[in-house]
Amino acid sequence: MVTIRQAATMNPAILGIHLEGPFVSPKFNGAQPRDQIQPASISKLADWQRASGNRVKLLTYAPELNRSARFERYCQENGIHLAVGHSDARFGDLEQCQINHVTHLFNAQRGLHQREPGVVGYAMLDHQSKVELICDGFHVVSPVVKIAYQIIGPDRLELVTDAMEAKGMPTGQYQLGGQPVAVKNGRATLSNGHLAGSVLTYDDGFRNMIQFTGCSIADAVKMTSTNQAREFRLNGKGSLELGSDADLNVFDKHLNLMATYSCGK
């Protein structure tokens, strides 16, 4: 947290922190070490928030294990959006929570079943929630990406990379949370074969979304920029309106990334 706080003072592109755990379900831990999972704690979250300089903006947790009106109220009062993820929550659990965000849809969560909608069903039906999607073709295969796009739509989907330290690096051995990770052919995996985050770059995710779904460039921009800016009320971000920050990616007609500008530089 301290490292991120220090980096953010030098780099205005660091807009906040997403705490993806440790208040999650051991059943859906994904690549998170089970021995690090713990019950939700206001005091610990407050410590992390202080250490980060109040930069925690999004918290993924498992509400079926950590349901607490007091905890939810603390997050709301401190500008922390609550997300369901790494969770075995049932549809009914989520209807009672102050959830407005779903972490990486389909991955590490209770899926859709004809007798229990689960987290996936909630994401599809709750029109107030923003819904993340890892668009690398490994975490979610292309036909399922298209299904999500057609059901949830470009106004609620938010593309994420879920990338770890090996992003942009060659094939080899890396680490995630102290665990060895092998990267080969665009996949990052633990020794047991489970996916360990991704090595997806955001421009690749942008192109993949267009290729997988046939969506327009305008809709792809919504899902990679505008929706996030609106959800977190990032003034000056997510649009090219007069007075907005000059944060731009420039692509050629084949969608190859040619240049990136941050605040006009």
The pLDDT of residue 91: 97
Write the pLDDT tens digit of every residue in 68-115: 899 999 999 999 999 999 999 999 999 999 899 999 999 999 999 999
Residues 82, 86, 91, CA angle at the centre, nearest 5°? Answer: 70
Residue 130 pLDDT level (bands cut at 50, 70, 90): very high
Cis before 170 (ω within 30): no
pLDDT surpasses 90 at 150? yes
Q: Please, which residues have CB within 8 angstroms of residue 88's CB and are 6 or more apart in sequence? A: 25, 27, 28, 62, 64, 109, 110
State the pLDDT confidence band at 27, using cuts at 50, 70 and 90: very high
Catalytic residue among 162, 204, 219, 247: 162
Distance CA 210, CA 146 (A): 10
pLDDT at 180: 96
Catalytic residue flag (residue 252)? no
Name the residue type at position 95. Answer: E
d(Cα 105, Cα 121) in Å, to the nearest integer? 10
pLDDT at 249 over 90: yes
pLDDT at 12 over 90: no
| Average pLDDT rounded to a whole number, residues 172-196 | 94
Domains and CATH numbers, the chain: 2-162+209-238 (3.20.20.140), 163-199 (no CATH)
pLDDT band at 236 (very low <50, low <70, confident <90, very high): very high
Residues 263/247, Cβ–Cβ less than 8 Å = yes
